[in-house]
């Protein structure tokens, strides 16, 4: 097809996709083309602005590597991640809500027994975390795989430091026969998402801050249940209502309780103040 103009280009592109043979791919690609073209028409996009957009996406790609996923940051800060998570995780009332995955999960975290210190040297005030994993009808979920990860007191994840082969502030454990779990870690602190790259420049241009409220990541999997990817947020955090990635749910906010020096819940005698966090997770049954 020749001599296309602003009125005919969209239909011409869509026509090229008619014989793909993959109905879902055709649907997604077609919708993407229609919305992209509608966006360009709506804002009367200039060539200079289009070039700036291409440079921005190129910079996002250049910033992405094995330790930093700038495209996930972009998706998170535009609210796309939260939208997709919400659509993909519609659950019955009473189930623990899902929230964004984030860019700092890594495969191969060390496995720990219940009661172990998953901080493994990460800086921060000690915190003892406990709770139960159960199903929607109250049944305990034994041997659920619980993956946890968090930033340290300086707001950094282990993967943001020079690689020394050690995992800190992350680990894998399993619920006990009654669905209970407990481990030692550190207190969650608010931190800014990485903002020294193109996403950070975008936030600056839009007058937005890069801060996330303090939280602890969980990913829980168990046979017969849907996977749960979520956070527990620290009650009272100043960024709960302006999370840079739109991930906060009221049902996921919990108190980190401070205690004076003394005996911790696991019997450890603590010479300094410490915190406790108790949070139960309710999993949704997987569809048969």
Catalytically active residues, by annotation: 157, 191, 212, 215, 217
The rounded Cα 281 to chain-centroid distance in angstroms is 17
CA-closest candidate to residue 191, choices 256, 109, 104: 104
* Residue 199: DSSP 8-state: H
Between CA 77 and CA 84 the distance in angstroms is 13
Question: Which residues is 217 bridged to in the sheet?
Answer: 149, 231
Q: How many Cα atoms are found within 13 Å in the side-chain-facing hemisphere of 65? A: 6
The rounded Cα 266 to chain-centroid distance in angstroms is 29
Between CA 9 and CA 198 the distance in angstroms is 31
Ramachandran angles phi, psi of 201, nearest 5°: -65, -35
Between CA 142 and CA 166 the distance in angstroms is 29
Compute, in degrees rounded to 10, the torsion defined by CA atoms 51, 52, 58, 62: 150
Please tell me whether residue 38 adopts helix, strand or coil conformation.
Answer: helix
Tokens of 116: 């172990």
Between CA 149 and CA 167 the distance in angstroms is 10
Ramachandran angles phi, psi of 207, nearest 5°: 70, 30
Ramachandran angles phi, psi of 72, nearest 5°: -65, -40
Between CA 102 and CA 94 the distance in angstroms is 24
Other residues' Cβ atoms within 10 Å of the Cβ of residue 266: 13
């Amino acid at each position: 097809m020749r001599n296309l103009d602003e009125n005919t280009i969209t239909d011409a592109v869509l026509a090229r996709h008619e014989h793909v043979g993959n109905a879902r791919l055709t649907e997604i690609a077609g919708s993407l083309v229609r919305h992209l073209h509608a966006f360009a028409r709506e804002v009367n996009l200039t060539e200079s602005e289009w070039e700036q957009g291409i440079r921005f996406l190129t910079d996002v790609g250049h910033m992405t590597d094995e330790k930093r996923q700038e495209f996930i940051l972009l998706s998170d800060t535009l609210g796309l991640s939260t939208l997709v998570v919400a659509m993909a995780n519609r659950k019955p009332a009473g189930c623990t809500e899902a929230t964004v995955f984030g860019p700092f999960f890594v495969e191969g975290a060390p496995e720990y027994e219940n009661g172990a210190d998953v901080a493994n040297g990460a800086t921060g005030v000690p915190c003892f975390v406990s709770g139960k994993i159960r199903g929607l009808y109250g049944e305990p979920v034994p041997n659920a795989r619980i993956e946890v990860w968090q930033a340290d007191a300086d707001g950094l994840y282990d993967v943001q430091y020079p690689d020394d082969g050690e995992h800190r502030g992350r680990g894998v454990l399993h619920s006990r026969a009654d669905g209970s779990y407990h481990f030692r870690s550190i207190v969650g602190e608010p931190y800014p998402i990485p903002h020294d790259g193109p996403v950070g420049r975008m936030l600056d241009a839009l007058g937005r801050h890069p801060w996330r409220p303090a939280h602890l990541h969980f990913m829980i999997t168990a046979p017969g249940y849907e996977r749960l990817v979520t956070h527990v947020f620290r009650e009272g955090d100043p960024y709960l209502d302006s999370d840079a990635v739109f991930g906060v749910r009221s049902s996921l906010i919990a108190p980190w309780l401070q205690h004076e020096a003394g005996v911790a819940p696991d019997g450890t005698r603590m010479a300094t103040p410490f915190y406790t966090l108790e949070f139960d997770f309710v999993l949704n049954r997987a569809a048969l």
